[in-house]
Amino acid sequence: MIRLTKKPQKKVYTDLINLAFDTCDRFHLVIRKDMGPLDKFKDFLKQLDSSLIEVKEESEWASNILADGEKAFVYYYHTDSSAKAIILDATNSLYDWVYPQLPEDLSFFKNGKEWLATNSHEQECYILTEDKNEIDKVMNIKGIKASFRRIER
């Protein structure tokens, strides 16, 4: 598992997002019901319509669990070139994926499992892989600050 120790922004963010899109088959964005008007991101989400897989009401997603049965809208998307362009154009920092600027917690999935899990408002990001090639690709992103540790099973 890789834990990012410095805010990925600018070129580091771009390189990390490009790697996530190359490695993963899905990503998600979250809109919490308790954080303001639900239609605030309507225009932004519309841009991603062609990549949309499904929207679920969930109390748990890649990086967070809500208390007391609260739910959020979790939007799942394909990692295609159209979506990548929109995600890269939206911001230049991974932790900008937080209300009120953008939908929250941009996270990526490979074969149905979390690969990059972001909790934006806590400024935390984990890359959950044991694949040496993937680890090397992440750690070789110029300017990335991260620590690696084996996942105990």
Per-residue pLDDT tens for 60-78?
888 888 888 889 999 999 9
**What rounded mean pLDDT belongs to the chain?**
93
Residue range 34-60: average pLDDT? 91
The residues, ordered by sequence, that sit 6+ positions from 27 with a Cβ below 8 Å of its Cβ are 20, 21, 76, 77, 79, 83, 87, 106, 107, 108, 109
Q: Which two tokens stand for residue 103?
A: 């939908």
The model carries a pTM of 0.93
For residues 55 and 29, give the distance between their C-alpha atoms in angstroms, rounded to a whole number.
Answer: 10
pLDDT (0 to 100) of residue 36 = 77
Q: What is the pLDDT of residues 6-32, one digit of tens each?
A: 999 999 999 999 999 999 999 999 998
Residue with tokens 């806590």: 122
pLDDT value at 121 more than 80: yes
pLDDT (0 to 100) of residue 55 = 97
Cα-to-chain-centroid distance, residue 74: 12
φ, ψ at 74 (rounded to 5°): -110, 120
Candidates 61, 52, 33; CA nearest to 120 is: 61
Question: What confidence tier does 152 reach under pLDDT thresholds 50, 70, 90?
Answer: low
Return the domain boundaries, the chain: 2-148
Q: What is the pLDDT of residues 126-144, one digit of tens each?
A: 999 999 999 999 999 999 9
For residues 23 and 129, give the distance between their C-alpha atoms in angstroms, rounded to a whole number.
Answer: 11
Do 33 and 56 meet the contact criterion of CB atoms below 8 Å apart?
no
Do 99 and 30 meet the contact criterion of CB atoms below 8 Å apart?
no
Do 24 and 109 meet the contact criterion of CB atoms below 8 Å apart?
yes
